[in-house]
Structure formats: C-alpha cells, structure tokens
Amino acid sequence: MTFHLTSPAFESGEDIPKEFTCDGPDSSPPLIWTAPPPWTETLALIVDDPDAPSGTWVHWVLYNLPPIARGLPECVAKDRQLPGAARQGRNDFGKLGYSGPCPPRGAPHRYFFKLYALDCKVKLKLGASKGELERAMKRHVLAKAEPVGRFQH
C-alpha cells in the first residue's frame, strides 16, 4: 500500500497559487491523502523550504492528526489545538499554524509538504517546534508522503 499526499490547489512540482502565499491571504492550501498504513496512531505534517537564504525555513508544524482523517480543508484555523486533538506548532515566522511561501525575489523556492504516519501519539507541549516534533517522531515513522510546491515573487 502506498501513502500519498496531494493538493487540489496545485500539482507536485508546480507553482503554489498566490492565495496560499504572502502575496495573497496566506491561507493554508487544501490537502488530501490516502489511507495510512495499518497501526498508524497519528499523523504529523511539516511544511518547509530548504531553499531559504538562512537555511531550511519552517512554514507549518501540525501533529496528532487522527489516523482516520483523509485531508485538511483550505484555510485551517491558526489555533494551537484543532478538532480531533490535533495540535499546531510554531513556524519560523514565530506564528502558530500555517504561514505560506514568502521568499525573497529571485529564483523559485521549493516547499515540501511532508506527511508522516506515526505508530504513536506525539507528547509535546502546545506550540512545539519542527525540531521538537522530529525528535519525538524518531523511530516512530511508518510511512511518509511528500509532494513539493514551488513559488517565487
């Protein structure tokens, strides 16, 4: 069984529409995924940009999504806790939830939407960082899905 993540807003490898960036309302894009592997306890999502001038820039940290979930709607609230016990971490803009692409002018940047199927519930404080989530996930990842969007001003 293959674990896939897609967005109805853009194809992997293609441009992310402006409404999901700082050039628009900066809403999170809708996401859809296939069933995770058996024994999945929770799902986690990290969105980051490895092309940022200062190193990888984190745009979204979300964890403890229920394994029965098959997607996220457009414009997820920027709350610490979401329905179903999912929690959002702090991104590199210093904000909770999703903050979209906002690269400096120049070459396009790549934005990796990484969805992880985990064999445990992640025990982290509200507002955890990407690094804290990655440490908590270590040795608990059953599968990973990773489409990539692009954006440039």
Structural domains for the chain: 5-151 (3.90.280.10)
Q: In terms of Cα–Cα distance, which of 147, 88, 145, 84 is closest to 116?
A: 145
pLDDT tens, position by position, 19-57: 999 999 999 999 999 999 999 999 999 999 999 999 999
Instruction: Compute the distance between CA of residue 7 and CA of residue 78 in angstroms, rounded to an integer.
Output: 19
Mean pLDDT of 74-89: 92
